[in-house]
Amino acid sequence: MTEILNRQYYLASRPKGEPNSENIPSRDVPLAALNAGEVRMRNLFISLDPAIRGWMSDEPNYIEPIALGDAVRASVIGRVVESNSENFAVGDVAMTMGGWEAYTTLPAEALNKLDESMGIPLSNFLGVLGPTGLTAYFGLMEIGQPKAGETVLVSAAAGAVGSVVGQIAKMQGCRVVGMAGTDEKCAWLTEDLGFDAAINYKTCGDFSKAIGEVCRDGVDVYFDNVGGEILDAALSCMNKFGRVAVCGWISSYNAEELPHLKNLWQLVAESITIRGFVVLDFLDRFPEGVGQLVEWLVAGKLQFKEEIVDGLDNVLPVFMKLFDGSNQGKLVLRLPED
Amino acid sequence: MTEILNRQYYLASRPKGEPNSENIPSRDVPLAALNAGEVRMRNLFISLDPAIRGWMSDEPNYIEPIALGDAVRASVIGRVVESNSENFAVGDVAMTMGGWEAYTTLPAEALNKLDESMGIPLSNFLGVLGPTGLTAYFGLMEIGQPKAGETVLVSAAAGAVGSVVGQIAKMQGCRVVGMAGTDEKCAWLTEDLGFDAAINYKTCGDFSKAIGEVCRDGVDVYFDNVGGEILDAALSCMNKFGRVAVCGWISSYNAEELPHLKNLWQLVAESITIRGFVVLDFLDRFPEGVGQLVEWLVAGKLQFKEEIVDGLDNVLPVFMKLFDGSNQGKLVLRLPED
């Protein structure tokens, strides 16, 4: 019997700024025999999310940093190839927190079985029906608390989270303005997703002025995916009792210095609430959220984009697309099934 | 009949940094005849509050800036000396938003009559039973939402707002830590007001370390009166789902540059809520708040300090005590009655 090797991309050293192949090299590790209760999956999809960059640092975070020497942590969907649990049969498909690796082996309790018979493409469970869709849903509805007629501003609006935020906000009767980094993305927001306006932040010039011109009645809810200068500009445009939902700061994950927020003073002047969150804060309400998202998806009310790139060995350059704005929608790495 | 002159301190120019007597000179203005419905008070007490510094600037704020040429705006308590309203008789005492002036003349609707027969010193209505007490009450209870056993940190804790915040937090069963600028203030907090610990921020060295040493279980609620470096340090010590109530940033009112917050990243890492507010946000609930504060005061559960300084002509140097930390408790200017 040939020894099967598990290719892994692991954290050799903590990156300063952008992670490179010295920080994240690959290795081939022989698969160990399964322990009692364990299940082994051959991974089909690996979710690439900005939060992973945060886990590479050893600063306090909402979950433990990735330990040096461990495979980089990521949500994965795989097909069971070997099982020591009566709850999983070879051929089942499941989702779990795995790694940048070909095979993920875990106790059965850590795996969530997915029902292929629903006919929903499996990768959707990593995005619009998974962490990113739930991030959009809970962040907007619980923290943003949008009311009909209010103006909702979304940064990284063409991304996996932002695009869902905007569509849900439209369903609540809000005026929705998105910020994105190319004219194509902006056109997608207004022409396909029904956003009322879009701002190309790479060409608009002064952010405060650009937001102020499009949001004539001010901003009531700002869904912040980026932090930094755009957050600062949004603060300058917020209405009294405005709400800012901060779900991750892509622009800062790779910055060794956080930018200075000149307009934080607005917090007091306009009685603004800024609340940070991660989707795990709403763990006990995931069934409610997934149920609502599936309902909207099946009703055709929720459009989304996935960018699926093939090949485990492309993981690092593909991951970096999240930080230069070159991805469109939820970024997923696909691994061959054989 | 002698013409009566109204001495006023007015805004001649907008201060950069600390206001001086060129920004705020005095003048003596003859009193005009009363219009229909107007009431004239001889002022007895003028409330000196940090927020007044904000109104001197023409940046967007929660209420209009003071117009150039107008008397500096302030809460005042006065005795009616002339009335064109059937609702006010000469000799009545009332509170209103007036100015740094000997006489305040306003339509009767703008005046709130005070009941001297309650036997409560009139100046209390400018502090513990007025804006500062209500700021403490609503900011802590509504934004901080303290739960028994949690740790509440208060900056400017010996001030008019902070000292009340700490006492209310103790009544909620919290562990309470105050930050103040002298050992005497710190001793007052722990020995007289029942705070569990106090930090002298002028001698403690590194703020994050000092807070971390006293708040071993982290900080659940931070009532922020100062912003800047202390806010930054508090952020580094906040527990998951911590709440920060921001009621005014004394340290920044006179700063032309806001300090850089390095730990704002904690917002996402720990799912923290930061909410700015002014007491007027809770205007429709003032009766509830005053009722609760009077109950605690009468029951002897609420200690407070007033610093009463005599003489309208001292107003500017007395006002500046708010910014160098030399006042203890609510700062009130008293004017002679005859």
CATH of the domain at A47: 3.90.180.10
Q: Which pLDDT value is given to residue B63?
A: 78
Are A146 and A213 part of one and the same domain?
Answer: yes
pLDDT number for residue B259: 66
Within a domain: residue A104? yes
In chain B, the percentage of residues whose pLDDT exceeds 90 is 73
My answer on whether A203 and A238 are in the same domain is yes
> What is the pLDDT at residue B235?
94
- Predicted confidence (pLDDT) at residue B228 exceeds the cutoff of 50: yes
Question: Do A44 and A25 form a contact (C-beta atoms < 8 A)?
Answer: no
B274 inside 8 A of chain A by CB: yes
A288 part of a folded domain: no
The CA distances from residue B245 to A58, A287, B88, B138, B249, in Å, are: 29, 32, 39, 10, 11
Q: Is residue B59 part of a domain?
A: yes
CATH number of the domain enclosing B223: 3.40.50.720
Q: pLDDT category, B255, cuts 50, 70, 90? A: very low
- Chain A CB contacts of B273 below 8 Å: 273-276
Residue whose C-alpha is closest to residue B146's, from B211, B239, B233: B239
* A278–B267 C-beta distance less than 8 A: no
- Structure tokens given for B78: 């006065």
- Write down the pLDDT at residue B66: 96
Cα dihedral angle (A8, A13, A17, A22), rounded to 10 degrees?
-60
What is the chain A residue with the closest CA to B256? A262
pLDDT number for residue A61: 67
How far does the CA of residue A221 sit from the closest CA of chain B (Å)?
14
pLDDT for the residue A311:
96
Mean pLDDT of A98-127: 91
pLDDT at B224 over 80: yes
Same-domain pairing of A170 and A207: yes
Q: What is the pLDDT of residue A256?
A: 47
Is B241 part of any domain?
A: yes
Task: With cut-offs at 50, 70 and 90, classify the pLDDT of residue B132.
Answer: confident
Alpha helices in B69-174 (DSSP H): 131-138, 160-171
Burial label, B41 (beta-carbon count in 10 A; 0-12, 13-18, 19+): buried
ipTM metric: 0.77
Q: What is the pLDDT of residue A338?
A: 67
Are B78 and B136 found together in one domain?
no
B 214-253 near A (Cβ less than 8 A): 240-241, 246-249, 252
Of A192-206, A213-227, A246-260, which gets the smallest average pLDDT?
Answer: A246-260
In angstroms, the CA B104 to CA B243 distance is 40
A117 and A218 in a common domain = no
Report the phi/psi class of residue B149: left, alpha or beta, with left for phi > 0 and alpha for psi in -120 to 50. left
Q: Which domain holds residue B44?
A: 5-127+305-334
Q: What is the pLDDT of residue A249?
A: 61
Give dist(CA B75, CA A71) in Å, integer.
Answer: 63
Closest residue in chain A to residue B258, using alpha carbons only: A262
Q: What is the pLDDT of residues B33-43, one digit of tens each?
A: 999 999 999 99
Residues B158 and B242 placed together within one structural domain of the fold: yes
Separation of alpha carbons B162 and B165, rounded Å: 5
Contact A271 B277 (CB under 8 A): yes
Distance CA(B100)–CA(B90), nearest Å, equals 22
> In this predicted model, what pLDDT tens digit does every residue of B81-94 receive, in sequence order?
999 999 999 999 99
Evaluate if residue B57 carries a pLDDT over 60. yes
Which residue type is seen at B32? A
On chain B, the residues whose CB falls within 8 A of the CB of A265 are: 59, 249, 252, 258
Tokens describing residue A330: 């939820």
State the pLDDT at residue B62. Answer: 67
Say yes or no to pLDDT of B279 above 80.
yes
| Chain mean pLDDT for chain A | 92
- The 8 Å CB, 24+ separation contacts for A315-322 are A315/A9, A315/A46, A315/A48, A315/A72, A315/A100, A316/A9, A316/A19, A316/A20, A316/A21, A316/A24, A318/A48, A319/A19, A319/A48, A319/A52, A320/A18, A320/A19, A322/A48, A322/A49, A322/A50, A322/A53, A322/A250
d(CA B222, CA B145): 11
**Domain contains B122:** yes
In this complex, the residue of A240, A264, A278 whose CB is nearest that of residue B268 is A278
Cα three-residue angle A243-A250-A150, rounded to 5 degrees: 25
Percent of chain A residues topping a pLDDT of 70: 95
Q: What angle do CA B220, B221, B224 make, to 5 degrees?
A: 145
Residues A27 and A97 in one domain: yes
Q: How sure is the predictor about B209, in pLDDT bands with cuts at 50, 70 and 90?
A: very high
Mean pLDDT throughout B145-161? 95
Closest partner CB to B265 (pick from A241, A258, A262): A258
Residues in chain B: 338
Instruction: Average the pLDDT over each of B26-30, B179-183, B296-300 and give the range with the smallest value.
Output: B296-300
Residue pair A309/A334 in contact by the 8 Å Cβ criterion: yes
Tell whether A22 is covered by a domain. Answer: yes
Do residue B97 and residue B201 come from a single domain?
A: no
Residue A253 in this model has a pLDDT that exceeds 70: no
Least reliable range by pLDDT among A85-99, A117-131, A133-147: A117-131
Return the residue of A nearest to B248 by Cα. A268
C-beta of residue A293 within 8 angstroms of C-beta of residue A128: yes
Domain assignment present for residue B286? The answer is: no
Please report the pLDDT score of residue A226 as a whole number.
85
Nearest CB to A269; choose among B60, B268, B271: B60
Q: What is the pLDDT of residues A285-321, one digit of tens each?
A: 988 998 899 889 988 899 998 899 999 999 999 999 9
- pLDDT category of residue B251 using cuts at 50, 70 and 90: very low
pLDDT surpasses 90 at B286: no
Contacts (Cβ under 8 Å, ≥6 apart) of A138: A277, A279, A281, A282, A285, A289
Mean pLDDT score of chain B: 92
The answer as to whether B293 is a domain residue is no
Closest partner residue to B268 (CB to CB) among A246, A261, A269 is: A246
Q: What is the mean pLDDT of residues B270-282?
A: 93
* B145 shares a domain with B115: no
* A255 band by pLDDT with thresholds 50, 70 and 90: very low
Q: In terms of Cα–Cα distance, which of A212, A175, A211, A179 is closest to A196?
A: A175
B102: pLDDT strictly greater than 90: yes
Convert the pLDDT of each residue in A202-234 to its tens digit: 999 999 999 999 999 999 999 998 888 899 999
Whether A268 sits inside 8 A of B262 (CB atoms) is no
* CA A282 to chain centroid: 15
Do A183 and A221 belong together in one domain?
Answer: yes
C-alpha distance from B336 to closest chain A C-alpha (Å): 35
Q: How far apart are the first and last CA of chain B?
A: 17
Q: Are residues B315 and B193 in the same domain?
A: no
Q: B264 — contact with chain A (CB < 8 Å)?
A: yes
In whole angstroms, give the CA distance from residue A266 to residue B61: 8
Verify that B156 and B210 share a domain, yes or no: yes
Partners of B8 in the beta sheet? B27, B101
d(CA A290, CA B300): 53
Nearest CB to B267; choose among A60, A61, A274: A274
Q: Give pLDDT, residue B160.
A: 85
Quote the number of domains for chain B: 2
- pLDDT confidence of residue B258: 60
Beta-sheet pairing, B26-30 with A38-48: unpaired
- Does position B256 have pLDDT exceeding 50, yes or no? no
